[in-house]
Structure 1
Amino acid sequence: MQIAGVRVGVHAGGHFTIAGDPAGDFFVSPGDPAFYLHHAMIDRTWTIWQAQDLQNRLQVISGGRSMMGGGGTAALSDEVNLYSVADKKWKVSELVSVTDGPFCYTYA
Structure 2
Amino acid sequence: MSRGTSSFGIAILSPPTKRHYEMSAAIRMASQPLKLNSTRPFETAIFDAHNGFGGNGIYVAPTPDQNPLNITGGTGGGCVTSGPFTPPNFTVNFPTADCLRRDFIPWIMNSFADPKLVQHVLAQADYTSFARAIENIPSFDEPNIHGSGHFGVGGVLGTIGNAANSPGDPLFYLHHGNLDRILWTWQQKDLRTRLHQVGGPIAPFDYGGQNVTLDFKINMGKLAGDATLEELLNTQGGTLCYTY
Asked whether the two chains share a fold, i.e. TM above 0.5, the reply is: yes
Change (3 A) 1:44 1:30: same
Change (3 A) 1:75 1:9: farther
Equivalent residue letter for 1:91: T
- TM-score, reference length from structure 1: 0.76
Aligned residue in 1 for 2:177: 40
- Supply the distance in 2 between the matched residues of 1:69 and 1:8 (Cα, whole angstroms): 19
- Supply the distance in 1 between the matched residues of 2:177 and 2:230 (Cα, whole angstroms): 20
Aligned residue in 2 for 1:54: 191
Are residues 1:102 and 2:239 paired? yes
Are residues 1:17 and 2:154 paired? no
Residue 75 of structure 1 aligns to a residue whose secondary structure is coil
CA RMSD of aligned residues (A): 2.8
1:84 pairs with one of 222, 231, 234:
222
Change (3 A) 1:16 1:67: farther
Residue 193 of structure 2 aligns to a residue whose secondary structure is helix
Instruction: Give the CA deviation at 1:38.
Output: 0.8
1:28 pairs with one of 165, 175, 179:
165
Q: Among the aligned pairs, what percent are the same residue?
A: 32
Aligned residue in 2 for 1:73: 211
- Supply the distance in 1 between the matched residues of 2:156 and 2:212 (Cα, whole angstroms): 26
- TM-score, reference length from structure 2: 0.37
Instruction: Give the CA deviation at 1:2.
Output: 5.5
Q: What is the total number of aligned residue pairs between the two structures?
A: 105
Unaligned runs of 5+ in 1: none
Are residues 1:63 and 2:200 paired? yes
- Supply the distance in 2 between the matched residues of 1:28 and 1:45 (Cα, whole angstroms): 23
Equivalent residue letter for 1:17: F
Residue 196 of structure 2 aligns to a residue whose secondary structure is coil
- Supply the distance in 2 between the matched residues of 1:3 and 1:86 (Cα, whole angstroms): 31
